[in-house]
Amino acid sequence: MLLKLNHIYKWVKSGGRRVFLLNDLNLTIEKGEFISLMGPSGSGKSTLFNVIAMLDTFDEGDYFFENETIHDLNSKQKTKLFNENIGFIFQAYHLLDDLTVYENIETPLLYKKIKSSERKALVADMLDKFNIVGKKDLFPHQLSGGQQQLVGIARALIIKPKLILADEPTGNLNSTQSDEIMQLFKDLNTEGITIIQATHSESNAAYGSRLIKLLDGSVNNK
């Protein structure tokens, strides 16, 4: 088991009444799974991502990540756990505009205080793996959307995360680029990385090993 969510509730107060964002949500994810998360807008996909990423709190329920009980950790411990285990990939790529491809990929390692020589080796490996060595000194605005997303994925992978959270990773891409990225995800999954992707596209969802449908803040796999 990689993570397990038990009876998770999250709500906001609106006009004195609770509006549930997550409503008795139960989910267990095993190591090596490739989950496709689907659901209409407002079904709670983003909230669930934030909860899994430990970037957001929940109001009731238990959250276990490997053998840690997340609901008992303070925010500093949660940040540490997140930084060491989870890589985030965004629909809008969210690369750092002022940094080159190389520097974007290198930055997470800087924050982990990895030594310079090791850093170089790791970034070089990553550039190689994604076939973007030639683009390493370009800035994000000089790349196509697909290339930018590759850099985004490389940046997420550089810390060797156990889990990748991808929030509509191909939402801004055309279908060819989209298929390439999905194939890449599938390959990564084969290498053993657990992936959860949120998507609106049935074809993208088909790349996953399991489909989870979300409705009104809880899992609805009927």
Please report, as ranges, the residues that interact with another protein according to CB under 8 A. 50, 55-56, 79, 83, 88, 90, 94-99, 107-108, 110-113, 155-156, 159
What's the CA gap between 148 and 90, in Å, rounded? Answer: 11
Residue 90 Cβ vs another protein, minimum distance, rounded to whole Å = 8
Query: Toward another protein, which CB reaches closer, 110 or 121?
Result: 110
Residues 217 and 23 sit within 8 Å (Cβ to Cβ): yes
Query: Toward another protein, which CB reaches closer, 36 or 167?
Result: 167
Token look-up 């940094």 returns 99
Query: Toward another protein, which CB reaches closer, 168 or 207?
Result: 168
Residue 125 Cβ vs another protein, minimum distance, rounded to whole Å = 18
Residue 214 Cβ vs another protein, minimum distance, rounded to whole Å = 18
User: Residues near 160 by Cβ (< 8 Å), separated by ≥ 6?
Assistant: none
Residue 150 Cβ vs another protein, minimum distance, rounded to whole Å = 16
Query: Toward another protein, which CB reaches closer, 150 or 156?
Result: 156
What's the CA gap between 42 and 28, in Å, rounded? Answer: 22
User: Residues near 214 by Cβ (< 8 Å), separated by ≥ 6?
Assistant: 37, 38, 39, 43, 44, 45, 48, 220
What's the CA gap between 215 and 213, in Å, rounded? Answer: 7
Residue 110: other Cβ atoms inside 10 A:
11
For residue 205, count CB atoms less than 10 angstroms from its CB and return exposed for 0-12, middle for 13-18, buried for 19 or more.
Answer: buried
Residue 41 Cβ vs another protein, minimum distance, rounded to whole Å = 14
Residue 36 Cβ vs another protein, minimum distance, rounded to whole Å = 22
Query: Toward another protein, which CB reaches closer, 103 or 216?
Result: 103
Query: Toward another protein, which CB reaches closer, 26 or 79?
Result: 79
